[in-house]
Amino acid sequence: MALPLLPALLAAALVGAAQSGAADPFARERQLLAMKVEARRVFPVRPLVDGDLDFVEAAIASADRCAAAGDRSGELAALTAAAQRLEGAPADGWSAAAWRLLPRLDASLLDDATTTTLRFDWLPAALEDRQLPAEPCAVEIWLARGALFGAGGELQRISTLARVDDVRLDAAAPLPPMPIEVPRSFFGAAFVTAQLLPAGGTPRRLAHPARIARRPGLVAEVGQLEERRRALLAATRGRPAGAEFDAALAVAALPAALLQQVARGDRQLAESLLELELRTAGESLAALERGSAPLPLPHGATRHVLDHPTTGELTPWLALAPAADGAGPRPLLVALHGLLAREESWLQYGDGALAREAARHGFIVVAPHGWRTDSFWVGHAETEVLALIDAACARWPIDRNRIALIGHSMGAMGALRLAAHHPDRFHAVAAIAGGGLPGWIRPLAGHSIMLAHGAADTVVPVALSRTLVASARATGAEWPLMELPDADHVSVVAATLPAVLDFLAAAPPRPSPGPPPARSDR
């Protein structure tokens, strides 16, 4: 029964999106574009023409005005212009011949199949230096692995998928679609990228590779998990099941949610997270089917569920909270995970280092799921964090003047942004292996801010933290940066947590409320 369920499961995402977005079918697109603008101001993953992001922000604002006026055609036109400029459409005389060189896949997720179609008619087919060779050349297509950001993010070739010779970049006709076969032995996630091979010249890799994943049996497995989850839900309908039961079912729904993202057109599937989600969902369902409690989390953490205030979804979160001891209100620490990680990642760094350090300082810790793993903590994920803080304050004795944020990588950027957008909600922030925008500095005046970074980080360069600290110093703010010479993007978390928690525990309470300073997402 699992296989017939999946087409309906994926179709439900499209139907639900159409129904829920009847009032404004493009609200999600506006939100995602705004998120990408913020992300690219910090992580410039492709060279941008001066004014690109300003143009995109103006187009989004125009789309907002059209949406308020009910002008759907104007809204769509503005969003299309924004997406094209953000993704690399020709601008300032940049040749349209570059468009058709970026590989686009007909499927970003392969199940048992090993073939897909590669197209060259999508954005942003920009060469990294934007200089197109005048002479004919070859285009070689790779399957590769590597880092997303940073100077050390070179892709390592797994295999060559295809090659097209005698490509003339000044020709008006696009390159034809090309069937490619992913090696049957390939399992997991990787990039599909291309490089130009000019005759007698230096090979040049194209920017923005596509992502692909192959996981044999995935669709059937997710379908079976979803059927088991629905059966448990039906068996308990009409009688209370408890918070742990609800949280376990919310965890079990996450693999299906990832496939729904694909159905809605979100092509950045969290491939590297899928195995963890499948394993956790299976273990949770097995425990519930046995009639026992869901499997416990390590280091004394507990799992909870939040009824998301804007999506209506049940979303899981975890907590590290000491037993009630009558000691009075405690400080709260909100921990934001990084890109393609999840809330449980915080329990793994240093084998529970966060749990130990939080207990030493008396912190209650909550770690949200973040709506989607690539949310950058904006939109629905931002709403989730604020709702979770209110839920924590209702559950435990929390000192509302001592609510701190800690984030790693994408979560570091999200923590600084959240505090800058809601300075009256937080008193301190620790950003580990992330970055930020100078426009977030003024709103955080009077707050305690600390950054930590590994100099050996090849995913997010340490220069991002150094630059932000220097920008803060230029305004008179001293934001300490703990830089470890040998730490990489992950090891820096456990290595710096003791000092980071010392800093957050010593931070003075939230400043007295007053008129919020002007902020800027630039």
pLDDT in tens, 215-256: 777 778 888 988 998 898 888 776 656 777 888 888 888 777
pLDDT band at residue 265 under the 50/70/90 scheme: very low
- The CA distance from 335 to 436, in Å, is 17
Note the Cα 161 to chain centre separation in Å.
28
Q: What share of the chain is helix, strand, coil (3-state, %, to 5)?
A: 40, 20, 40
Tell which wins on pLDDT, 205 or 519: 205
Tell which wins on pLDDT, 266 or 388: 388
pLDDT band at residue 458 under the 50/70/90 scheme: confident
- Tell me, what's the pLDDT at 2? 31
Torsion angles phi and psi, residue 33, rounded to 5:
-65, -45
CA nearest neighbour of 151 among 456, 481, 493, 433: 456
- Average pLDDT score over residue span 296-310: 84
The percent of residues in the chain predicted with pLDDT above 90, rounded, is: 29
The percent of residues in the chain predicted with pLDDT above 70, rounded, is: 69
CA nearest neighbour of 479 among 497, 466, 498, 496: 466
Report whether pLDDT(172) > 70.
no
CATH level 3 topology of 300-522 = Rossmann fold (3.40.50)
Report whether pLDDT(22) > 90.
no
Question: How would DSSP label each residue in 133-168?
Answer: -SS-EEEEEEEEE--SSSTT-PPEEEEEEEEEEEE-
DSSP-derived letter for residue 423 is T
- The CA distance from 369 to 387, in Å, is 12
Tell which wins on pLDDT, 338 or 115: 338
Torsion angles phi and psi, residue 335, rounded to 5:
-105, 120
- Tell me, what's the pLDDT at 520? 46
pLDDT digits (tens, 9 = 90+) for 341-376: 788 899 999 999 999 999 999 999 999 988 665 678
Domain boundaries, the chain: 2-86, 96-214, 217-295, 300-522
Note the Cα 201 to chain centre separation in Å.
37
Return the half-sphere exposure (C-beta side, CA atoms, 13 A cut-off) of residue 180: 30
| Residue 232 neighbours by CB distance under 10 Å | 19
- Tell me, what's the pLDDT at 16? 37
Report whether pLDDT(431) > 50.
yes
Report whether pLDDT(405) > 60.
yes
3-state DSSP of 207-254: CCCEEEEECCCHHHHHHHHHHHHHHHHHHCCCCCCCHHHHHHHHHHCH
3-state DSSP of 431-485: EECCCCCHHHCHHHCCCEEEEEEECCCCCCCCHHHHHHHHHHHHCCCCCCEEEEC
Tell which wins on pLDDT, 103 or 509: 509
3-state DSSP of 111-124: CCCCEEEEECCCCC
Radius of gyration of the chain (CA): 24
Report whether pLDDT(522) > 70.
no
- The CA distance from 18 to 15, in Å, is 5
Relative to beta strand 178-181, strand 115-119 is: antiparallel
CA distances, 321 to each of 354, 364, 367, 493 (Å): 12, 5, 11, 21
3-state class (DSSP) for residue 109: strand
- Tell me, what's the pLDDT at 49? 55
| Residue 220 neighbours by CB distance under 10 Å | 15
pLDDT band at residue 396 under the 50/70/90 scheme: very high
DSSP-derived letter for residue 98 is G
- Tell me, what's the pLDDT at 11? 35
Q: Could you tell me how many residues make up the chain? A: 522
Dihedral angle over CA of 498, 501, 506, 508, nearest 10:
160
3-state class (DSSP) for residue 290: coil
Tell which wins on pLDDT, 169 or 117: 117
Report whether pLDDT(486) > 60.
yes
Terminal CA-to-CA distance of the chain, rounded, Å? 51
pLDDT digits (tens, 9 = 90+) for 132-163: 666 778 888 888 876 544 334 466 788 888 88
Query: 43-57, 183-197, 475-489, 502-516 — which is least confidently predicted?
Result: 43-57
- Average pLDDT score over residue span 278-288: 85
| Residue 44 neighbours by CB distance under 10 Å | 12
- Tell me, what's the pLDDT at 357? 96
- 34-43, 236-245, 498-507: which has the highest mean pLDDT? 498-507
- Tell me, what's the pLDDT at 308? 79
- Tell me, what's the pLDDT at 196? 77
- Tell me, what's the pLDDT at 48? 53
Report whether pLDDT(257) > 90.
no
- Tell me, what's the pLDDT at 39? 61
Full-model pTM: 0.70
- Tell me, what's the pLDDT at 406? 98
Report whether pLDDT(120) > 70.
no
- Tell me, what's the pLDDT at 129? 43
- Tell me, what's the pLDDT at 514? 46
- Average pLDDT score over residue span 424-428: 96
Mean pLDDT (the chain) is 76
Q: Is 265 left (phi over 0), alpha (psi -120 to 50) or beta?
A: left
- Tell me, what's the pLDDT at 253? 82
Contact (Cβ atoms closer than 8 angstroms) between residue 26 and residue 77? no
CA distances, 209 to each of 159, 319, 374 (Å): 15, 37, 17
Q: Which two tokens stand for residue 442?
A: 């003024």
- Average pLDDT score over residue span 30-59: 66
- The CA distance from 284 to 292, in Å, is 10
pLDDT digits (tens, 9 = 90+) for 195-216: 778 877 777 766 556 667 777 7
The yes/no answer on whether domain 96-214 falls in CATH 2.60.40 is yes
Q: Across the strands, what pairs with 333? A: 365, 404
Tell which wins on pLDDT, 239 or 301: 301
CA 62, 63, 65, 69 torsion: positive or negative? positive
Tell which wins on pLDDT, 330 or 375: 330
Q: Which two tokens stand for residue 8?
A: 């309906």
Tell which wins on pLDDT, 468 or 51: 468
